[in-house]
Amino acid sequence: MSDFTSGFWNIYIVVLSLLGIIGCGVLLYSQSKVTVLPGAPADGTTGHVWDEDLKELNTPMPRWWMWLFYITIVFALAYLFLYPGLGTYAGKLGWKSSGQYEQELKKAEADYGPLFDKYLKQDLKTVAADPQANAIGQRLFLTYCAQCHGSDARGNKGFPNLTDKDWLYGGDPDIIKTTIMHGRNGIMIPMGAALGSEQDIENVAHYVLSLSGSTSDPVKSVLGKSKFGACMACHGADAKGNAQLGAPNLTDKIWLYGGSADTIMETIRKGRNNTMPAFGDFLGESKVHVLSAYIWSLSNPQPTVPVK
């Protein structure tokens, strides 16, 4: 990548851009006059005839069209003088897309900051019951969260459903806010070597299925029960999980990656690693506060209160 940081590429872009514009001007000029071709007749044509009587006239392009083209060339040169476009040259006006973005952010903060600050001072459950805050939270969710959890918040393979009561780290609104602010990194370590043979892995998978009343082989379930001891450190002796670790409850029928025996065996054999990115630095606490209230309300519908 060091080749792309040398001064050569700056010069290369400048020369290529200017030659392209100058070349357009030279082409226009060359076509602005009548060119007498060798052997061309004196009747003002090139001598080319199609369909017996369709003759090609030897005339320059229309002047109005050419002047419009010249204007575009002048505009291009003026633009490249005022704005960035020639390598590392920043332009006379010093405009940057990042600078414009920052200006828009400051304007938005000035316009909407007081509204978000008002909600930040309120309890999350109170914010969840506010129709205006709920609408704002929904728009934030569709912008930043729907890519993984879906526009209906029902999740997908590897991405949790946010509309039910099943939470890996707990469904308290403050915990949800902590998750959004700081992110999560859920790890299920590979347990294949700890359990032993492939048959042991299959037996444990069937035992796990039996915990939730799912279809399983009763013989393999009994054999897998003793091996499940290796999993109790995270999932607990009752297999109901551990919210402190983000270890899921294995006694319900809610599966993040699927509830088939083959999928569970794959999880045991290879482990899983899920990352929920942190949005605290990007969105700021006030926006995360409103977003958290909305997400909590998806599984806890609240009676709305009138907007004051």
Binding site annotation covers 24?
no
Pair type for strands 54-57 and 184-188: unpaired
> What predicted TM-score, i.e. pTM, was given to this entire model?
0.70
Instruction: Tell me the residue ranges of DSSP E strands in 225-297.
Output: 272-276
Cα separation of 292 and 177, whole Å?
A: 5
pLDDT of residue 8: 85
Buried b (16+ CB within 10 A) or exposed e, 200-216: bbbbbbbbbbbbbeeeb
Binding site annotation covers 191?
no
Given a contact cutoff of 8 angstroms between Cβ atoms, the answer to whether 169 and 184 are in contact is yes
Nearest to 294 by CA among 149, 158, 182: 149
Give the single-character DSSP code of 224.
H
Q: Which helix (H) or strand (E) holds 262?
A: helix 261-270
Query: pLDDT tens for residues 91-116?
Result: 899 888 888 888 888 888 888 889 99
Alpha-carbon separation of residue 286 from 115, 133, 138, 256, 299 (angstroms)? 9, 11, 15, 30, 21
pLDDT of residue 196: 83
Residue linked to tokens 């998750």: 179
Give the single-character DSSP code of 249.
P
Binding site annotation covers 149?
yes
Binding site annotation covers 182?
no
pLDDT of residue 10: 85
Residues present in the chain in total: 308
Cα separation of 305 and 123, whole Å?
A: 14
Residues of the chain with pLDDT under 50: 1
